[in-house]
Amino acid sequence: MSASLPPRTGLGKYAWLSIAAALATIALKTAAFLLTGSVGLLSDAMESGVNLVGAVMALAMLTIAARPPDTDHSYGHSKAEYFSSGVEGSLILIAALSIVVAAVERLLNPRALEQIGVGLTVSVLASLINLGVALTLLGASKKHHSITLDANARHLLTDVWTSAGVLVGVGAVALTGWTVLDPIVALLVAANIVWTGAGIVRRSVQGLMDVSLPPSEQELIRAVLSKYSTSDVQYHALRTRQSGADRFISVHIIVPGSWTVHEGHQLMERVESEIKQALPNTTVFTHLESHEDPRSWDDEALA
């Protein structure tokens, strides 16, 4: 028995919002770099370029993920979201490498910064745009259980903190006159970007490898199953996996062989309904087995 999931549509508008924010911040941060000559601000602009590519990829994958199941994809297309987050994570790592190259070059060939006040003002404005969009995407990701929107939001939030670090670096140069602080901050920015990118890639790989649901969610499932467990009713072979926003759960339920089909069906309907109430966006597969059949215990190792 199973419960199907409704198609998820309408998330593309959030990707368009991210695209618009990326274009705006690229323009603002590039202007800030041209005004100041700060390699830290240049690193900020480069990361916004990655944001743009990631947002475009997110739009494409959210469109695919929203498609309903078909004959070739009977479990839907939700795994497309992992490709988006994986690509974005990889691009973040590439951007980090580019920042390191630029920062090392500036360490070897220091240059005084210009028009710092104007540059900082422009960069702050860009950061505020990213912050507003990031919070919007984060709220939408939680509401719609979208790993793509979550990855995009967390990347933008990292960009906000990165920009804050760059602003501190440029401000420190303005106060101390030590131009070496600018590329040093850029290297710290790169390290932060690597951490974020690696985390996004790792999460994408886990999703593509059908990793089980988190322990906290598995506990919710077991709590529902335990509620119906008696001397006559038992369960085993519980298996779970995450696919984008969707959860898939399968479990074997063992009942007395004397039960009617109707009795078994009613029990499984109640179990499936309660699991879906506890965990939204879930498809549940239950398999009914008989106490009296020795083969019912062949897969007990999967419990």
Per-residue model confidence as pLDDT tens digits over 229-238:
998 899 998 9
Same domain as 33, residue 156: yes
Same domain as 226, residue 151: no
Domain boundary among the residues 147, 176, 208 is at 208
Same domain as 134, residue 56: yes
The boundaries of the domain holding residue 16 are 12-208
Supply the CATH number for residue 165's domain.
Answer: 1.20.1510.10
Is residue 29 included in any domain, yes or no?
yes
**Token pair for residue 32?**
């800030």
| Structural domain count of the chain | 2
Q: How far apart are the first and last CA of the chain?
A: 19
**Hey, is 170 helix, strand or coil?**
helix
Average pLDDT, the chain: 82
Residue 290 is predicted with a pLDDT of 92
112-to-60, 106, 173, 175, 176 alpha-carbon distances in Å = 42, 10, 9, 13, 12
**Token pair for residue 155?**
């990347």
- Chunked into runs of 10 residues, the chain (303 residues) has average pLDDT values of 50 90 87 73 72 86 84 82 81 79 79 63 83 92 82 80 72 77 79 83 82 91 93 91 85 93 93 92 91 80 58
Domain boundary among the residues 147, 175, 208 is at 208
Measure the CA–CA gap between 287 and 2, rounded to whole angstroms: 10
Residue 172 CB burial class (10 angstroms; 0-12, 13-18, ≥19): middle
Same domain as 176, residue 262: no
The predicted model scores a pTM of 0.66
Same domain as 251, residue 159: no
Determine the residue type at 279: L
Is residue 7 included in any domain, yes or no?
no
Same domain as 19, residue 100: yes
Q: Are 18 and 137 in contact (CB under 8 A)?
A: yes
Q: Which helix (H) or strand (E) holds 300?
A: none
Tell me which residue of 177, 175, 169, 192 sits closest to 32, measured CA to CA: 169
Same domain as 251, residue 169: no
**Token pair for residue 225?**
């199953």
Is residue 145 included in any domain, yes or no?
yes
Roughly what angle, to the nearest 10 degrees, separates helices 80-108 and 181-208?
160
